A and B are shown apart, each in its own frame.
With several copies, the nearest count.
Chain A
Amino acid sequence: MVNYMTDSIAEITFAQAINRALKDAMVEDDSVICYGLGADDPLRIFSTTKDLVELYPERVFDMPTSENGMTGVGIGAALNGLRPVMTHQRLDFFLLAMDQLVNAAAKWHFMFDAKSTVPIVIRLIIGRGWGQGPTHSQHLHAWFAHIPGLKVIIPTSVNDAYHLLKQSIKDNNPVVFIEHRWLHNQKGSIDTNHKSTLSQAAVVKQGTELTLVSSSYLTVEAIRACEFLEQHDVSVELIDLRTVNPIDWPTIYTSVAKTKRVLVIDAGARTGSISGEIVAQVSEMLFDQLLAAPARMAMPDIPEPTSYSLTKDFYFGAKEIVEKIMTMLGIDIDPTQVDSLNVQGHHDIPGEYFKGPF
C-alpha cells in the first residue's frame, strides 16, 4: 500500500485533495466508512470518492434517497465504533436531515453527559451558476454555526481541504464539512509539514490597513482583490475563516486590533449571516479601537435565480471587494484598472472547461 503521507504533493485539485484525504483516512483507519448518493457511481461525486469502493467494497456504498434516515444511520454507526463520512452533492438536500443533525448528532455528547461521541463527517457541496437556481445553491453555513455541538468547516485551499478533512474524520464530534463546487477544480498542493488545524483561521496574507475576513470560494476572490490592491500599495490583511463553528476569535481580534478596520465577506444571505456575527462581535469587543465603521458584504436576502441574465450581477467578486475597500479607506484607483478584475467569459461557470449541465 502506498504511504500517501510521506510526501508533499504538488499541483493537484481541491477535489483530488478531498479524494486523497478520504483514501488516506480509510487506509489508516478501518472504522472509516464512506457513503452517499453517487459514492460508488461512475462519476464518484465529482471524482472526490474515486477508487474508494475498489479499495474497500464493504465500507463504501451508495444509499437510498433518504437523507434524514441515512444521517441517523450514520449517527448510529458512529455511536457503534465507525467513523462515517456521508456526502451530499448539494447542501440543499441535507435540509431534510435537520432533525438528525440538530436534535441527535449535535446534542448527543452533551445531553448524555459525555458518555459517548458521534464522530461523523457530513460533506456538503454548495452549487453555484449554470442555473443551479433557488434550491441548488444555498450557502447555509450560518445555520450550522448557530448549533452548539457541531463543528463547521468551510475550507478554501487545497492544503486545507486535505488536512481539515482528515482531521474532521479523526475528530470525535459531528463535523459539517462544506465544499464549494467552484473550488473543486482550483489547484494547489498538499504540504505535509503544514497541517491546518480544526478551529483555526488562516492569515492568508499579512497587511496593515484593513482586515478582510472571508471563507470558502469567496477567499479566491478575496485573494485576487488583495493582490490587486497590493499592486496599488494598499495593504490588506486577509483571514480565511476555515471554521465557522467554533469561530477563531483570537486570530480575528489580533488582526483587527492591528489594522483597526474590518470588512467581512460572506456568500450567505445577509440577514442572520456569519458576516453579521463577526461584525457584531468585533464591534462589541474592539469598538474603541476601530477607526471606521465595520462592514460586511453578503448576499442579498434573495434566493439565487436561474437565468443567465439574473445571475449576471448576483454574486460579488474581486472587483466589488476592491471597490468596497476603496470606499472604506477613502482611496481612488483608476476605474478601468478596477474593471480589469471583472471575470472574462461567462459569469456562471467556474471555468471554460465547464460545459454544463451539472
Chain B
Amino acid sequence: MSDLKHFLQHQKTILETLYLIRDIEEGIAERYPQGKMRCPTHLSIGQEGVPAALAPLLKITDLAVSTHRAHAHYLAKGGCPKAMLAEIYGKATGCSGGRGGSMHLIDESVGFKGSTAIVGNTIPIGVGLALAQKIRQETNISVVFVGDGAIEEGVFYEAANFAALKQLPVLFVCENNLYSVYAPLSKRQPVGRKITDVVNGIGINTAIADGNNVVECYQVLSEQIQQIREGRGPRFIEFSTYRWREHCGPNYDNHIGYRTEEEYLAWKAKEPIARFEQWLADYQLMSPTDMAKIRQQIRHKINAAFEFAEVSEFPSADKLANTIYG
C-alpha cells in the first residue's frame, strides 16, 4: 500500500466507524418491533465497509448527499448519532426535527447536506454542491452516494454528464448490492453490462473495489479522492456489497423468494468487519483486546444515543406552518 502511513493513522477511525454503523443498525433492528420508530427504515448492515473506509478520507469541509439508505453515510461523514436516532424516533431533537425520519438525514455541521427518499433525487444535487466548490476554487469535494438501482434514473446520467463536462470535484460512491428492493440487476440492466462501462462511456474515470475488503476500499478511495482534489475531475467507484436484511425494515427476508439463503450466507462469510479485524490482527496493527475495548466504547455511545432518542420530547406541530418558507 502506497499510503501506508496514512492508513495507520486512519485504521482506528475506520474500525470505529465499522462498529458504529453495525451496532447502531443492529440496535435499530432490535428495537424496531417496539413500534416507536414509525417510519420507513433502510438498514446498512453488511454494507458498512465502504462508508467506514471513506470516513477518514473526507474533511469536515467536504460535502455529501445520500439516499433512502443513508444511516451509514451520515455516520461516516461524522453526523451526530444522537440526532440521527432521535430523528428515527420522530423527536424534536432529531437532526430534521422529526420531519424527515430515517430517509431524510442532515448534519450541516459536518457537511452532510441531506439524504432524500426519491431514488436518484440527490445525485444532481451533489453535483451542484461541487459546482459551487469549483466556482469558488475550493479543494473540497462532494460525495454522492448511489445504489445500483439509482443508476437507472435518467437524472444520474444527466448529472454525470454535467460533472464530466465541467470537470467538477465529485466522487460518486456506488454501492452495488445487486438488488433494487426485490429486483435483481438482471431485471433492470442489460446482462453482462457493467455499471462502470456506462460511466466510462459518459466520460468519467471509474474504479472498482470489493466493498467487503475495507483495506482495498480505503486504497481505491484514497487514490481517487486525491485525484479529485488535484482538480482532475469527477470519479466514480463501484463497490460490490450486499445488504443482509430486508430492503426496508429490520427483518431477514431470504425466505420470501427473491434471493437465496445460500447467496446471503456466501456474502455474510465475506463480511467486512471480521475481515478487517482479522487483517489488523494479522499485521499486528491492533490487538483483539484493543479492538474489543473500542467496540465497547462505541456501544456505550450508542446506548446513550438510544437513551437520548427515547427520552427526547416529541416536536410540536405548531411550528410547521411557519417553516414552509425560509
Contacts and interface: CB of A to CB of B under 8 A. Distances in A.
Direct contact between A and B judged by beta carbons closer than 8 A? yes
Interface of A: 33, 37-38, 41-43, 58-59, 61-82, 84, 92-93, 96, 99-100, 103-104, 108-118, 130-136, 148-149, 151, 172-173, 300-302, 305-310, 312-314, 348, 355-358
B321 interface: yes
Interface string B100-123: 111110101000011011111111
A305 B99 contact: yes
B96 A72 contact: no
A134 B323 CA distance: 13
**Interface residue range, chain B:** 35 or more
A246 to B, nearest CB: 8
B126 interface: yes
Given A76-B130, A133-B103, A70 B256 contact: no
A307 B98 contact: yes
A309 B152 contact: no
Contacts of B103: 133
Contacts of B248: 357-358
B131 interface: yes
B135 A76 contact: no
A173 to B, nearest CB: 5
Nearest to B131: A77
Contacts of B129: 76-77, 79-80
B187 interface: yes
B183 A62 contact: yes
| Residue of A33, A111, A132, A136 with most partner-chain B CB within 10 A | A111
Given A65-B188, A99-B118, A113-B323, A42 B38 contact: no
Given A76-B129, A77-B128, A112 B90 contact: no
30 contacts: A33-B135, A42-B182, A42-B257, A64-B158, A65-B153, A67-B153, A72-B122, A75-B128, A76-B124, A76-B125, A76-B128, A76-B142, A81-B136, A82-B131, A93-B119, A104-B122, A109-B326, A110-B99, A113-B97, A116-B326, A130-B40, A136-B40, A149-B325, A302-B321, A307-B97, A309-B314, A310-B315, A310-B320, A357-B32, A358-B40
A42 B125 CA distance: 29
A68 B158 contact: yes
Closest 9 CB pairs of A and B: A76-B128, A72-B124, A131-B39, A69-B158, A113-B97, A307-B90, A307-B98, A309-B314, A66-B158
Given A68-B124, A306-B99, A306-B101, A114 B152 contact: no
A64 B162 contact: yes
Given A76-B124, A104-B125, 6 more contacts: A42-B182, A80-B132, A133-B39, A306-B101, A356-B40, A357-B32
A237 B182 CA distance: 45
B114 A112 contact: yes
Given A63-B188, A69-B159, A75-B125, A302 B152 contact: no
A80 to B, nearest CB: 4
A108 B183 contact: no
B114 A79 contact: yes
A70 B123 CA distance: 11
A306 B98 contact: yes
